[in-house]
Structure 1
């Protein structure tokens, strides 16, 4: 691995690393915040998945999570949102291609060669983190927008792997909204039956593990009614008797100003299960 950045922050260190990813077939960057407690012992780790157009930088520079992570003794890992590079397929649009991996394993060309973000997030990255940094196998997962979708979907698909799951402004019904339909058509193909494996609405009806899902959603979010539609997951969770905490926040939009306002709640949510 190659160290790209290291900054002292609230007694811990905010780092960025680059490594060669076997899953993605390219070099990949990830950020990790190690709290001061990690100098003496292994600590729990929260994986944060960012949204469309983001890199590992957005969360670490805008969310303001380091102070509370240092208090609670939690490491935070923030990967990039897609494979990147000159040889990686892309489109001239913000919601498909580089910066828009959607945390799935693509099966369609030209995406299948590199767009295997599901394998990267679930298997490769945690193995790397646990081998090279002072963290335990006590994991949580959280994210925003596309990353909020990824966090919920991954937690639902992987019983026993995470202690907590939470999201800001998640795309909860990707098979029913334009962002998800566009991405799934490209990455997974036209057969909508293949999409169900990544659809939180379908997954929540069949899972056996009942991790409580914490969601914060701003009511001034311009994407709320067309792309996010939290009421669909709320209804599916009620039908499945799956605990869902949906906080609707008047006045808040889709930005990191919203995330910074409530990130402490999500870190403390994870800490309760550590």
Structure 2
């Protein structure tokens, strides 16, 4: 693991690391914010943040403005890249497929399967790496994300509740098997069998898994230019059907971008602080 960049931030440090990923079959990068408590060696609650289409490991660190409150709360923040990278890695013919668009699933179809194993990368390889190298409180780990990363946060939390104790999302793709973004990605990465798609669809997963969390928080802008891709109502219906408590907040005037995330990031950190302490 190689330290690529480190910057002092609210008496903690924002860092970027690179390492050779066996799962992704190439170099992988992730960002991590270490609050002052972590720099002193204290075990800290930790949040994985999964970013959206076209983002990288430093998008969240630069744009979300989460470090100030994270330092006060003593949260470690981990932000992996959104896909494998490199000249040897397959690339799609558009911005919403291929590099920058890993969708946090394990691809089964050529040419994607060789590198696009983002689910295993997050929940196995990166999870273990950071747990062994940083003072992470093993019983206080949550996950959240935005857009494609909101999809990733919801689905990985529902699949691995033993690893993630809390979950929230900003403008997540709630039913990817029923929207153009998801249909395009899943047909390429997973093939034509839509039964396989359902295994990576938050609305289908919550119906299959039932109520796993005390609460799930989603914030959604009503002026989101991608609203038709996101389908929060379908996830809300599924949660209601199985008794999973969901707080879905829709905000007038807000769009899909990081100004929206900045506006509510503190409330998400506070939400996770409560959930991880229960």
- Per the TM superposition, whether the score is higher than 0.5 is yes
Return the offset for 1:208: 4.5
Aligned equivalent of 1:3: 3
Return the offset for 1:207: 1.3
Contact persistence 2:210–2:243 (CA under 8 A): no
Contact persistence 1:25–1:114 (CA under 8 A): yes
RMSD, aligned α-carbons: 0.8
Contact persistence 2:28–2:81 (CA under 8 A): yes
Structure 2: distance between partners of 1:44 and 1:120: 21
Helix, strand or coil at the partner of 1:142: strand
Aligned equivalent of 1:261: 263
Q: How many residues align?
A: 273
Aligned equivalent of 2:41: 40
Runs of 4+ in 1 over 4 A off after TM superposition: none
Q: Deviations over 1:44-79 (max 9, x none)?
A: 110000000000111000100000000000000000
What does residue range 67-216 of structure 1 map to in structure 2 within 5 Å?
A: 67-137=68-138, 138-211=140-213, 212-216=215-219
Helix, strand or coil at the partner of 2:144: strand
Return the offset for 1:273: 2.3
What does residue range 4-19 of structure 1 map to in structure 2 within 5 Å?
A: 4-19=4-19
Aligned equivalent of 1:248: 250
Return the offset for 1:159: 2.3
Aligned equivalent of 2:225: 222
Helix, strand or coil at the partner of 1:20: strand
- TM-score, length of structure 2 as denominator length: 0.97
Helix, strand or coil at the partner of 1:16: strand
1:209 and 1:123, CA in 2 relative to 1: closer, same or farther beyond 3 A?
A: farther
Q: Deviations over 1:193-228 (max 9, x none)?
A: 11111111111012155212100000010111x201
Structure 2: distance between partners of 1:170 and 1:92: 24
- TM-score, length of structure 1 as denominator length: 0.98
Return the offset for 1:192: 0.6
Unaligned runs of 5+ in 1: none
Return the offset for 1:181: 0.2
Structure 1: distance between partners of 2:211 and 2:17: 33
